[in-house]
């Protein structure tokens, strides 16, 4: 690749830009200061935000100077959604979320050296801004006709919900951010998702009007799934970067379950693997899809990037151990617990005696009924902690407390592929 624009294009990371040739020339001419914003509208970033985080990182690795903005001001409002008005969170809550997001963003960037990153908060230049100053100095440069033509705003205006002036003004605030960062740090490029395009160009237009200078915007595409379902969602909800909201095991499994039609695209977007490595994995998908080498590489890379190599190794080992290819006793309890809860492990009362195997397999949903559990036991198809139960055991057989992993868990398996478990209180 000859430059960072070529690299981003190869990775499928450019959906729109204000003037690609001018941006290419600016990036080639020397270090460019650029920014990307993240609003604290939740206590954690999610995997959709990873696209932006990694794009910021790629630009820094190419020799440019990043500003990571956590929106202590814009987070009090929230970018308009197409469907409905956002709930406004208390300032104290938003301030706490600012700190959480900063802590999540910082490991992705280098804050030392000639291209050191800088964290910024737009509350610093809006907190003392009066309504009159906002309207006279900033608002006068925005034309309502153009503002209502923005895709999200137009959708809301045509809905029963409508849009409040608060959310309508969001694009003005984001434009102000770009202007302030241009004045304070010489920032000339803003990156964001393609759903933010209207907000990105609002800053470009504002700077052109106020400073009589040309700056740039670059939007990455929204990531989709080949089957049409929403990326970043599972049956249990959003896939978050915070390990207390989405466990590293669940996070790993999300990427491991990627469709063959998606996995190469995801490797380009979410990992730092190069052209030759990804080409080799693409060949593996074509020639040996059952091996799922590309999915395993993707799951390892992204989990290690977000949660560290230790958590990635634990998640990988748990995935193997649940199906009899690893040692269950070597798994940390929180990893085992996350894996079994992901499998839907019920919590059973132990009482004086532990439940029977028949009862546990039925309660865990690995068989359709207790009679089916008895048949599975007699046929030799039941495994506990990866050990096959003797078909000669009667229906009243039960484990001992010494069999419990970490004193409370049992891994249950029906045949080779149907895995579950129970938590015994």
DSSP codes, 69-134: EE-TTGGGT-PPPSSSPPPPPPHHHHHHHHHHHHHHHGGGS--SSTT--EEE-THHHHTT--HHHI
Handedness of CA 116, 117, 123, 129 (dihedral sign): positive
Of residues 367, 376, 385, 379, the one with CA closest to residue 324:
385
Instruction: List 418's β-bridge partners, or say none.
Output: 414
Q: Say which CATH number the domain at 389 has.
A: 3.10.290.10
pLDDT band at residue 315 using 50, 70 and 90 as cut-offs: very high
Q: Does residue 331 lie in a domain region? A: no
Query: Which pLDDT does position 2 carry in this prediction?
Result: 52
pLDDT digits over 175-223, tens only?
A: 999 999 999 999 999 999 998 999 999 999 999 999 999 999 999 999 9
Q: Is residue 339 one of the residues assigned to a domain?
A: no
> Which residues form the domain of 160?
4-220
Q: Over range 149-156, report the average pLDDT.
A: 85
pLDDT of residue 46: 96
119 with 171, same domain?
yes
Cα 152–Cα 261–Cα 413 angle in degrees, nearest 5: 110
Tell me what pLDDT residue 178 has: 97
Residues 6+ apart with CB under 8 A from 231: 47, 48, 222, 223, 224, 225
Taking 80 as the threshold, does the pLDDT of residue 236 lie above it? Answer: no
Rounded Cα distance between 70 and 36, Å, is 9
Whether 242 and 184 share a structural domain:
no
Q: Are residues 143 and 196 in the same domain?
A: yes
Residue 1 has pLDDT above 70, yes or no: no
81 is an annotated ligand-binding site residue: no
Does residue 257 surpass a pLDDT of 50? yes
Is 333 within the bounds of a domain? no
Read off the CATH number of the domain in which 240 is found: 1.10.240.10
Whether the predicted pLDDT of 235 surpasses 80: no
* 103 and 249 belong to one structural domain: no
Domain's final residue, options 198, 220, 242: 220
Domain C-terminal end among 172, 191, 220 = 220
Q: Are residues 187 and 145 in the same domain?
A: yes
Q: Is the same domain home to 200 and 274? A: no
**Bridge-partner residues for 33, per DSSP?**
65
Q: How far apart are CA 59 and CA 32, in angstroms?
A: 9
Contact 373, 361 (CB under 8 A): yes
| Structural domain count, the chain | 3
Examine the domain organization and report whether 258 and 369 are in the same domain.
no
| Overall pTM > 0.85 | yes
Average model confidence (pLDDT) across the chain: 93
**pLDDT one-digit tens code per residue, 17-51:** 999 999 999 999 989 999 999 999 999 999 999 99
Query: For residue 372, is it within any domain?
Result: yes
Residue 174, annotated as binding a ligand: yes
Per the model's pLDDT, the better-predicted residue between 374 and 154 turns out to be: 374
With contact defined as beta carbons under 8 Å apart, do 8 and 39 qualify?
A: no
Tokens for 86, please give them. Answer: 């956002």
* Dihedral Cα 283, 286, 287, 288, nearest 10 deg: 100
Residues 144, 133: Cα–Cα separation, whole Å? 18
Tens digits of residue pLDDT in 261-304: 999 999 999 999 999 999 999 999 999 999 999 999 999 999 99
Q: Is residue 337 part of a domain?
A: no
Query: Is it the case that residue 381 has pLDDT exceeding 80?
Result: yes
280 assigned to some structural domain: yes
Domain boundary among 199, 220, 241: 220
User: Residue 293, Cα to own-chain centre: how many angstroms?
Assistant: 22
CATH number for position 164: 3.40.50.620
Give a yes or no: residue 93 inside a domain.
yes
- Domain shared by 197 and 248, yes or no: no
The reply, when asked if residue 233 is annotated as ligand binding, is yes
* Residue 327 belongs to a domain: no
The pLDDT score that the predictor gives to residue 327 is: 87
Q: What is the dihedral of CA 217, 55, 46, 269, to 10 degrees?
A: 120
- Residues 406-423 as b or e (16 or more Cβ within 10 Å = b): eebbbbbbbeeebbbbbb
Average pLDDT estimate for 322-337: 89
């Amino acid at each position: 690749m000859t430059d960072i624009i070529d690299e981003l294009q190869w990775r499928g990371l450019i959906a729109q830009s204000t003037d690609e040739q001018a941006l290419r020339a600016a990036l080639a001419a020397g270090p460019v200061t650029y920014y990307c914003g993240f609003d604290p509208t939740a206590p954690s970033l999610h995997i959709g935000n990873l696209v932006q985080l990694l794009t910021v990182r790629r630009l820094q690795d190419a020799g440019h100077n990043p500003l990571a903005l956590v929106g202590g001001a814009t987070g009090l409002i929230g970018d308009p959604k197409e469907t409905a008005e956002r709930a406004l969170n208390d300032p104290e809550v938003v301030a706490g979320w600012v700190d959480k997001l900063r802590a999540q963003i910082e490991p992705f960037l280098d804050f030392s050296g000639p291209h050191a990153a800088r964290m910024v908060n737009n509350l610093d230049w809006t907190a003392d801004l009066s309504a009159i100053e906002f309207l006279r100095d900033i608002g006068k440069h925005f034309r309502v006709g153009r503002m209502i033509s923005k895709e999200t705003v137009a959708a809301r205006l045509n809905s029963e919900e409508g849009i409040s002036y608060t959310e309508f003004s969001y694009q003005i605030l984001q434009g102000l951010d770009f202007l302030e960062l241009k004045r304070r740090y010489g920032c000339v490029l803003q990156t964001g998702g393609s759903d933010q395009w209207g907000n990105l160009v609002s800053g470009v237009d504002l700077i052109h009007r106020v400073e009589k200078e040309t700056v740039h915007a670059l939007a990455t595409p929204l990531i989709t799934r080949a089957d049409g379902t929403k990326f970043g969602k599972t049956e249990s909800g959003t896939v978050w970067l915070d390990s207390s909201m989405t466990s590293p095991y669940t996070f790993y499994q999300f990427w491991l379950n990627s469709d063959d039609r998606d996995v190469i695209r995801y490797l380009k977007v979410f990992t730092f693997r190069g052209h030759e490595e990804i080409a080799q994995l693409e060949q593996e998908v074509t020639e040996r899809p059952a091996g799922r080498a590309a999915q395993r590489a993707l799951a390892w890379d992204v989990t290690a990037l977000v949660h560290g190599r230790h958590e990635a190794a634990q998640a990988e080992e748990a995935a193997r151990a649940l199906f009899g290819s690893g040692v269950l006793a070597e798994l940390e309890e929180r990893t085992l617990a996350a894996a079994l809860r992901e499998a839907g492990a019920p919590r059973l009362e132990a009482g004086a005696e532990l439940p029977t195997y028949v009862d546990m397999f039925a309660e865990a949903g690995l068989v359709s009924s207790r009679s089916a559990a008895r048949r599975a036991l007699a046929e030799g198809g039941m495994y506990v902690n990866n050990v096959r139960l003797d078909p000669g055991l009667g229906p009243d057989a039960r484990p001992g407390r010494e069999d419990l992993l970490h004193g409370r868990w049992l891994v249950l398996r029906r045949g080779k592929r149907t895995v579950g478990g129970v938590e015994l209180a």
